[in-house]
Amino acid sequence: MTKVIVVGAGLAGLCAAVRLADAGCEVELLEARDEIGGRSRSRLVDGTVIELGGQFLSRPHRRMRKLVANAGLHLARTRLWSGTARLRRENAVDGRLASVGAFRDLRAFVRMTLGSNSLAAVRAAAGEDHGAGDQDARSVREWLDGIGLNGPLRPTTDTLIGEIFGGADPGEVSLLAFAELIGGEGNGFLFLLDGFGLTDFIVEGAGALCAHLADRLPPVLVDSAVVCVEHDADGVAVRTVRNEVFEGDQVVLAVPAPILDVIEFAPQLPAWIGNVNSALRFGQATKVAAVVHRRGMLRSTGFVGGSVVRWFGGSSGLVGGKRVVRIGRP
């Protein structure tokens, strides 16, 4: 029987381990933290599920939806921006709120979805001879400047794009990659409707899905951060921070790409893989969950809404190199 060591018990590692086990492999799953789930963990606070990481499922998340259904869990629909989302002008102090978009921003959003500079036009141009290279050479920042998105919605848009692309500045993001990503969601208009409108979430929490997957496996070995992977034609030996060594035929590394940079490989991974790993970063965002009395929320200048997790692109900023999101009065 083939023995596979899976490193990382986030959703990816858990899914890989379950599929390998179902295919008849012996599986050993190692996790650095003292709990499973990775960036899809939940906490129950006073009967309310608080998501610590991944939460929203958009339409193209078909495999996630299937996983949720197979686990006997439930999806519910919510709005990412419920109530009157208010954007604060960058660096604004209490009380001075920008309306949700100036006229020039709304005009830019129309250009985003219609006409020669729309994302659909970018995708169409990429299909022409040498077109893909040309669109790849353009950055999302150039494109946003080109469509004239330079009003109050620009900081929010930049922050959202950074969220999607691992904390990157729009100037670093390929327009082609962006257009393809949005294209996968339908088109620009549907993306805006979906992204800012309705979205689904797992009622029992993303952590419940992870727990369900783990139930189908031998016990996950937690507190077992992998520090070294030795590999040759005969198999692999994986060493943890506690100096335990696990041997197997194959290893699946289901850790975030930047982490691969701190794991020692013997022999080393090919240089191109190392280069990719060091170029990829984690996104810069802080998720804030706050329970606020509804009347208080209505009076507050920061946000209004029904759910506890809220976005304020306009009021976020860089503190100590990290993007933070402020809620309520500064």
Residues that bind ligand FAD (CB under 6 A): 7-13, 30-33, 38-40, 53-56, 225-226, 254-256, 259, 263, 285, 287
What are the φ and ψ backbone dihedral angles of 89, each rounded to 5 degrees?
A: -60, 145
Give the chain's length.
330
Element (H, E) at 81: none
Q: What minimum distance in Å lies between the beta carbon of 107 and ligand FAD?
A: 29
Which of 126/210 has CB closer to ligand FAD? 210
| Per-residue DSSP letter, 221 | B
Which of 40/118 has CB closer to ligand FAD? 40
Q: Hey, which residues does 325 pair with through a beta bridge? A: 316
Which of 41/138 has CB closer to ligand FAD? 41
Q: What minimum distance in Å lies between the beta carbon of 17 and ligand FAD?
A: 11
Alpha carbons 287 and 51: distance in angstroms, whole number: 9
- CA distances 320 to 96, 284, 323, Å, are 25, 11, 8
Which of 55/139 has CB closer to ligand FAD? 55
Alpha carbons 214 and 315: distance in angstroms, whole number: 39
Q: What minimum distance in Å lies between the beta carbon of 106 and ligand FAD?
A: 26
Q: What minimum distance in Å lies between the beta carbon of 115 and ligand FAD?
A: 30
| Residue showing the smallest CB distance to ligand FAD in the complex | 10
Alpha carbons 21 and 36: distance in angstroms, whole number: 18
Q: Among all chains, which residue has been given the structure tokens 């950074």?
A: 162
Q: What minimum distance in Å lies between the beta carbon of 61 and ligand FAD?
A: 6
Which of 28/105 has CB closer to ligand FAD? 28
What are the φ and ψ backbone dihedral angles of 194, each rounded to 5 degrees?
A: -70, -50
Which of 106/257 has CB closer to ligand FAD? 257
Q: What minimum distance in Å lies between the beta carbon of 311 and ligand FAD?
A: 11
Closest CA to 305 of 68, 48, 82: 82
Query: What b-and-e string marks burial along 247-282, b requiring 16 or more CB atoms within 10 Å of the CB?
Result: ebeebbbbbbbebbeebeeeeebeeeeeeebeebee
The answer to whether 141 touches 178, Cβ cutoff 8 Å, is no
Q: What minimum distance in Å lies between the beta carbon of 240 and ligand FAD?
A: 7
Element (H, E) at 298: helix 294-299
Which of 40/315 has CB closer to ligand FAD? 40
